[in-house]
Amino acid sequence: MELPHELWYEILQRVLADSIHSVSTLAEEATPQWDMDVVGILSSVSGMFRAIAIDLSVKVLAVSPYSDPDLNPAEAARHAMQYLRCLAKQTSDVGEEETRVWSRMPAMTTSPLLQGYTLYLNAVALRRKYRYSQRKQPREGGPSAYCNSSPSQRADVDDLVIALEKSRLVAPNAMAGLLDEVVREEIKRINMEVD
């Protein structure tokens, strides 16, 4: 018995969403290579998988052969994953490969999903840096006592609300479920630290 096309589409949708989420949120761990090349790997399984994987990457990651004729959709999706990975790791030493990735991003950042993850990852990085700077602040008074007001954390919540709005624009909608979850969790974390 063969599964209907719609079911395969749903399965691959979940696989791609999970890979995008893993690449974006596993900052402390090694780069998940399977997830980085998920579109290429799924494309090599069969013609049907290739068609579905490319269709999803065009819809969700805004990759297109028209945005960069030198890249096929699987390579363009890999570049989008590298972009998210760079954000997740918040690397300061950007190598030559990463520089090429960053230079291609303007065409890809039209994706609401990439925009949402970008806002989320930046908010997480800023919250962590704020928390780190708070640990370095002198106790009681001192020149840096004004930092306790945490205006940057309120701005992060505003950015995360925009990320939630972006997640609602993702089509197919199921692709944004994991982003929606982590954004809501991050908003709770920030609100608990501010209150």
Task: Give, as one character, the DSSP assignment of residue 71.
Answer: S
Looking at 54, 85, 105, the residue that finishes a domain is: 105
Are residues 117 and 99 both part of a single domain? no
Alpha carbons 68 and 19: distance in angstroms, whole number: 23
- Please tell me the total count of domains within the chain: 2
> Residue 95's domain spans which residues?
1-105
Task: Return the minimum-mean-pLDDT range out of 37-41, 102-106, 107-111, 170-174.
Answer: 102-106
Inform me whether the pLDDT recorded for 94 exceeds 50: no
Q: What is the mean pLDDT of residues 5-15?
A: 90
Q: What is the mean pLDDT of residues 168-178?
A: 84
Structure token pair of residue 100 = 């090429």
pTM of the model: 0.77
The 10 Å CB-count burial string (b at 16+, else e) for 163-192 is bbebbeebeeeebbebbbebbeebbeebee
How much is the pLDDT for 92?
39
- Residue 5 makes CB contacts below 8 A (sequence gap 6+) with 48
**Higher local confidence (pLDDT), 184 or 106:** 184
How much is the pLDDT for 40?
92
CB atoms within 10 A of CB 45: 12
Per-residue CA distances from 111 to 56, 80, 136, 170 (Å): 12, 10, 38, 8
Q: What is the mean pLDDT of residues 100-110?
A: 54
Q: How confident is the model at residue 146 (pLDDT cuts 50, 70, 90)?
A: very low
Looking at 90, 105, 120, the residue that finishes a domain is: 105
Are residues 156 and 175 both part of a single domain? yes
Q: How confident is the model at residue 101 (pLDDT cuts 50, 70, 90)?
A: very low
Above pLDDT 70, what percent of the chain? 70
Are residues 97 and 186 both part of a single domain? no
Q: What is the mean pLDDT of residues 114-125?
A: 83
